[in-house]
Structure 1
Amino acid sequence: MKHAILGVVALAATALLMVGSSLTAQDTTVAAWTDPVEFVAEATSGTWGSTSPTPSSIVIVAGNTNTSLDSTVWNIPSSSADSSFCVVVTVRGTTSTSAAWQLQADMTLPPFNGRTGSSGVYYQGSTQASFATTNQSPSTLLISGKSNGSATWNASYNNALITDVQPLTITICVSNTPIAATGAASYYSVTQSPTTWTDTKACVAITATGTVTDLEANPFFFGWVATANLAGAKSRITSAGKTVNYVGWSPAPSSGYEFSTSPTTYNPVADSYSITSGRTTAIKGTQSSTITACVYGY
């Protein structure tokens, strides 16, 4: 299912930051913030990998004309290492006649991050709900009420039919979401600066800092990309008459869980490495994440 999203769809730009042999100053690349409410674009499951984080108001929408979605409140963990989240929704009917209600969640978008199927989706609390997907649309989560066959309406367990005076507040939780995709370049800035700088160990810290200040519109984690330029670190070692040996990382790439690099060979040391964040290095809002590369010599 396609939804119009309020957000700028942009390619995640690489912050290429040159560190010279002296590395006495910090180089900074800052992407201009773009207010997501000023643009309209389209996202589908086939293009999720190249879209930016999207405003929260369009991830879950009414699934039929009998349903009014009154509010959506996202509960996103503070750490990207937590692959779960919850959202509290309030729905009501649109007429005085009892009718089946339904919501639809586009799981190609954050914070679902491209998951498929309804496994790992559950309600929390006393208000029950049903969750399903179809073979034709495995990325569209259908959310509806519960029915026990009784004619007596009950907000907790017999709530499949509602009217405009029967609001329901439901807490929906999701576990095991995929790693957040790379966000638009306008959602973060990247800096690169030296740390340890000796004859046999020259390190640079690559830090991504989010620039998203409206967490009500964009409370979700997003990935980032950067280029670690190690030419200056290698030069520092060779200029001291030493031999460049290998590059070490903190944290370690961990098969892409922390982050991934290109190239993936660390001995011999390349002049530069493209970095793509992983599970634990994704950020949201104005959070920061730092990866340190150290070139070792002997």
Structure 2
Amino acid sequence: MKILLTGATGQVGWELQRTLITLGEVISVGRSQMDLAQLNTIRRIIREIQPDLIINPAAYTAVDQAESEPDLVMAINGIAPGAIAEEAKRLGAAMIHYSTDYVFDGLNTTPYTEADKPNPQNIYGMTKLAGEQAIMAVGVPHLILRTSWIYGLRGKNFLLTMQKLAQEREEIRVVNNQIGAPTWSRLIAEVTAQILSQARQDVSGFLASKSGIYHLTANGQTSWYGFAKAIFDHNFQQSERKLQRLIAITSKDYPTAASRPAYSLLNSQKLSNTFDLVLPEWQRSLELVLTEQIFVTA
């Protein structure tokens, strides 16, 4: 199987490179090779490579900055996935794409299922929803995997930001009234690989029979404050911390350019049932990440 992987330098893309190598030939491209804002480039690269499967974790993910450049965000998150799907269909290939909890408005009080109606509240969420709709309209064999609160040991994410601030500040204030499920980038990559391993030799046929939207997050729930507390409760670089106080605040105390859903917990039962997978609790994943970080830096 020849796999074209976009966003190779991103959090999820970097992990996918490592997990997919046992499944076939992985051809990884970053923004410098395939800029998703350039449709001609997208189509040319795909036609040159002629993959059996295109996996697209690449996206515009700067949620607040997106509010000030909606056209660019729509080009990358909304229009490009449709073009990728068209090229995949032309080749008889399949596609896996990643989306977000931010397609929902956050007004639920129980975890969102795939049957719940999206109602995004910011440009990022609107464009990611547009990308989902574009892929489905093409009719290519596909999986759209919605995930949330992605973190890891690379790139820009909440975990690394908190660790950096802990070494710079005595006090950190973190929002406590937004609820979600922190999800390790490696978990997303490993679940993707486990799903594909079930396809055996016919990935297009397999994904055609399973096509649709699936929620993929770690189990459990917390707030950003709870996530931060769990990070700091671990003994990573305890002696190097300047941090003395972690203070819970509300969203009103921390205004941002983009509105965030107050509750964006996703129900991943459909994915678990369809592919016979057991997803870990978010605390367990975090423990593994922090343990690995100690090992790597030791």
Give the TM-score range, shorter chain: under 0.3
Structure 2-normalised TM-score? 0.20
Structure 1-normalised TM-score? 0.20
Question: More helix by proportion, 1 or 2?
Answer: 2
Larger Rg: 1
